[in-house]
Chains A and B, each alone.
Chain A
Amino acid sequence: AQKITQTQPGMFVQEKEAVTLDCTYDTSDPSYGLFWYKQPSSGEMIFLIYQGSYDQQNATEGRYSLNFQKARKSANLVISASQLGDSAMYFCAMREGGALTGGGNKLTFGTGTQLKVEL
């Protein structure tokens, strides 16, 4: 079974609009972390935002926010006021186990969502 599912292979959004990129996850570990990365056409992987499973509030970083719904096992990324520079591939990833207890520390990734911001 897929541990990270991103159901939107491609998304379009108009500049200045908000967009939500979907991510659902599957784990039986009570302690886990969820990450979003951006990969522009240049290839580098840029860390955007992190949500811990025990965090009480949804994570926010500037124009990025994470809509964390634990019971539904979803961790959608919301980008507000989209900019042309937001056009990129976006990956959702999960680390099972706590940050200090290990659990392997490897990340499990989804297949990504290609976002295109249009004028």
Chain B
Amino acid sequence: EAGVTQFPSHSVIEKGQTVTLRCDPISGHDNLYWYRRVMGKEIKFLLHFVKESKQDESGMPNNRFLAERTGGTYSTLKVQPAELEDSGVYFCASSQDYGHRTTGYTFGSGTRLTVV
């Protein structure tokens, strides 16, 4: 089966611009998660979708970040307007249930966002 796909793999934008990241989870996975790793720090949770509903968005840093998952399939994460501190690697993960023990959460390869 295809894994979790994220694009773009890299994005360089200027401060104040808008960027939209996309994640295609594994087909049939109801749970979709966004995480972010800022340089040198731990990977931090942003939000969790169950199908098209936001289950937990406690990790979203501020209202410049907007995540959607229309139709419960792919998800987008929009940053508008981007700030320098938004630079980092944004990971998407999906799971069929609440993190099955034999497969864990399947992660994508991430989008490296650089705001200049």
Q: Which of B31, B40, B41, B102 contacts A50 (CB 8 A)?
A: B102
Q: Which of chain B's residues have a CB closer than 8 A to the CB of A42?
A: 109
Q: Which of chain B's residues have a CB closer than 8 A to the CB of A102?
A: 98
Q: Which of B45-70 contact A (CB under 8 A)?
A: 45, 48, 55-56, 59
- State in angstroms the CA–CA spacing of A108 and B37 once bound together: 12
Q: Which of chain A's residues have a CB closer than 8 A to the CB of B105?
A: 35, 47, 107
Q: Which of B33, B89, B102 contacts A106 (CB 8 A)?
A: B33
Q: Which of chain A's residues have a CB closer than 8 A to the CB of B93?
A: 45, 107
Q: Which of chain A's residues have a CB closer than 8 A to the CB of B109?
A: 42-45
Given A91-B43, A95-B99, A100-B98, verify A106-B56 contact (CB < 8 Å). Answer: yes
Given A100-B98, A105-B31, A105-B48, verify A47-B106 contact (CB < 8 Å). Answer: yes
Q: Which of A47-103 contact B (CB under 8 A)?
A: 47, 50, 52, 91, 93, 95, 98-102
Q: Which of chain A's residues have a CB closer than 8 A to the CB of B40?
A: 111
- State in angstroms the CA–CA spacing of A35 and B35 once bound together: 16
Q: A44-B107, A98-B98, A107-B99 are in contact. List 17 more A-B contacts (CB 8 A).
A: A4-B42, A35-B105, A43-B9, A44-B108, A45-B93, A47-B103, A47-B104, A95-B98, A99-B98, A99-B100, A101-B98, A102-B98, A105-B48, A105-B55, A106-B56, A111-B40, A111-B42
Q: List 24 A-B contacts (CB under 8 A).
A: A33-B101, A43-B89, A43-B110, A43-B112, A47-B104, A47-B105, A50-B101, A93-B43, A99-B101, A100-B97, A101-B98, A102-B98, A104-B48, A105-B56, A106-B33, A106-B45, A107-B43, A107-B45, A107-B93, A107-B99, A107-B105, A108-B45, A109-B35, A111-B40
Interface residues of A (CB under 8 A from B): 4, 33, 35, 37, 42-47, 50, 52, 91, 93, 95, 98-102, 104-112
9 tightest CB-CB pairs across the interface, nearest first? A45-B107, A47-B104, A109-B43, A106-B45, A44-B109, A43-B109, A111-B42, A50-B101, A105-B98
